[in-house]
Amino acid sequence: QVRLVESGGGLVQAGGSLRLTCEASGSIFNIKSMGWHRQAPGKERELVAGIIRDGTTNYADSVKGRFIVSSDNAKHTVYLQMNSLKPEDTAVYYCNVRFTYDTYWGRGTQVTVSS
């Protein structure tokens, strides 16, 4: 079993920054990728950013140039540095870890950006 624990969410004013952290623990073998999704009220969950084990990253168009995803493979941890935050970034942010046959999700952390 794999457990994911997210931290770093909170309330911030528009233009501010937050850093999310997600640490995976448990039966961890051969992580393929880690990343972040988000879900705003009344909307579907969407990809924010992901990082493959070799360091290749991908981002949603809405966050390119503002968010940076990174990982520490030895610590099984993924980070999301969020800069120049906008009210439309308000959502619950979920961490995920993908293995060969399974994907695990965290419980989510709330990010609220006030205007």
DSSP 13-47: ETT--EEEEEEEEES-----EEEEEEE-TTS--EE
State both tokens at 84.
């120049």
* Res. 30: pLDDT tops 90: no
What pLDDT digit, counting tens, does each position of 35-63 carry? 999 999 999 999 999 999 899 999 999 99
SS3 9: coil
Q: Residue range 90-107: average pLDDT?
A: 95
Q: What pLDDT does residue 66 have?
A: 98
SS3 115: coil
Q: What pLDDT does residue 28 have?
A: 87
Average pLDDT in the chain: 96
* Res. 27: pLDDT tops 90: no
